[in-house]
Structure 1
Amino acid sequence: MGEKVYVETRIEAPIETLWEYTQSPHLHQQWDLRFSEISYLPKEKEEDRQRFLYRTVIGFGISIAGEGESYGTRERDGIRTSTLKFGTDQRLSLIREGSGFWRYVPDGEGVVFLTQYDYHTRFGGAGRLLDRLVFRPLMGWATAWSFDALKLWLEKGIHPASSLYRFIRMLLIRVVLALLWMYQGLVPKLLVPDSGEMELISQFSFLAGYERAMLTGMGIAEIVFGLWLLCCRGRKLHYLNLALLAGLLLSGLASPAIYVAPFNPVTLNLAMMALSALYVLEREPTPSAKHCIRKPKN
């Protein structure tokens, strides 16, 4: 086992409501990215442990299925705790078996909702390395994102499916803008500086003799700005993007021929501005793993 996955958030909702949304399979599978389907198996006796089946769709027609059971729930001083174990015999799954708990701590008008779990992996040392570098951070992120999606569902009535589509849409905008900025900085300015960019800079007489240095600096700055767009989610950065692109459009007045050239930068800049405008106009909150606590206080 590696470092345990821990996620904590505070949700403004009655503890009974939060319990229902996390303990009912048809509700749980709607907000938890880690599971595509969850179903309870019938009990022979009321006091028996609750066994369940789960399935996670990976894509390309591939899914991971497993089984688990809730082997204890308790309430003490108003704090509820639900413990469970899970596992799968499916060789494709990196996770072999694991266990963890959910805890519900009343806090005024809300509930501090937290989880901690750990698991054993397959594939020996290679599996442990893959888990430490990729899989466990991904599981932690998916858990935290899901907790925040549940928080938005209970507090603001935003369904997790809507949150997921919005998250993908805004992520796609950031990725496309970042790639465009990095391409424009790398290819025409650093790798192929004679593609026409040097000629545009030479239009400004006060830069005479410094064209190459200016072009290199601009290329590096555009790559850095692209990485900044990729890593940051704030709207202020997209306001800056709009201002920079507008400035680039106006700078083209020094060489009016570019406005009529085929595949000219004007159309590219307008398309990039439209993407940032769509990002800025999105007003509903989007789930983020960063909104959750990822390390236990004690």
Structure 2
Amino acid sequence: MKTPKLEVDIGGLLLRNPIMPASGAFGPEMDRAFDFNQLGAIVPKSITMEERPGNKTPRVCETTAGMINSIGIQSKGVKHFMKCIIPYYAQFNPPLISSLSASSIDEFAELAEIIAESEAVRALELNISCPNLKGNGLAFGMDADLTYTLVKKVRSVTDKPIISKLTPNVTSIQEIAIAAEEAGSNSLNVANTLLAMAIDPETRRPKIGNVMGGLSGPAVKPVIVRLIYQVAQVAKIPIIGCGGVVNGEDAIEMILAGATAVQVGTASFIEPTAMVNIIAEIEKYMERHQIESIERLRGQVIID
């Protein structure tokens, strides 16, 4: 058969293949491990308006089949991002997706407007899982009305594709997904990390300086697959699966559940070439099953 077709469209943004990094799990130093041009898209660490030092240490701890992190959106600010980060990634072929984090709806819109001025930035990923400082610390993405208002505000300042990164820490992710879609989101990222905590029995102290953090890695994949499947039942826009993918089979599982593309995070800390390995494994799977286009796999889980 012909070489499998891996191209996908995530709401107006065409990717050569469905694999990209998760924000916060990718950096320029990884270019020593593989050619960035092999990726479907490039997603740098979330950017904030002002410089942020991040949370107190320790920020990371290992858990069974995963890790908890509480970095705190450490950032050098949007000026540094525009001057240094965008020009670096602009030299590569895959579209650059900028991940945004802010403490208010107005700040999200202001940040989006600034970054959208760059032609090199092809889409904006809104990290609506971050706390709303005017809402008693409640994450924007935990409330359907806040989600709608935030995405609608950002939609009013840019015509670039918007990806809403949803949180799994909700009762009904479908309700949030519908709100983001109706407000103008072009695709949905399902999902951010699961809120978690670990305690050292010897010291009786939390293993994370911020007490709680986000659980990622293989342990969360079954939860994310379930969330993708649920969101796919109600959303008409593309889904980007994110959480626990370490190999091609994991990525295929998310695509069968309804994802169009897949982000890879924790796996890259263990194996820097994880993403390109996953792309190759997807191709081998498609060749083995004689599937010409990856689009023919999306949402094709068989449920009797």
Note whether the superposition's TM-score is higher than 0.5.
no
If each structure's helix is expressed as a fraction of its own residues, which one has the higher value?
A: 1
If each structure's strand is expressed as a fraction of its own residues, which one has the higher value?
A: 1
TM-score by length of 2: 0.28
TM-score by length of 1: 0.29
Larger RCO, structures 1/2 (Cα 8 Å, 6+ apart): 2
Larger radius of gyration: 1
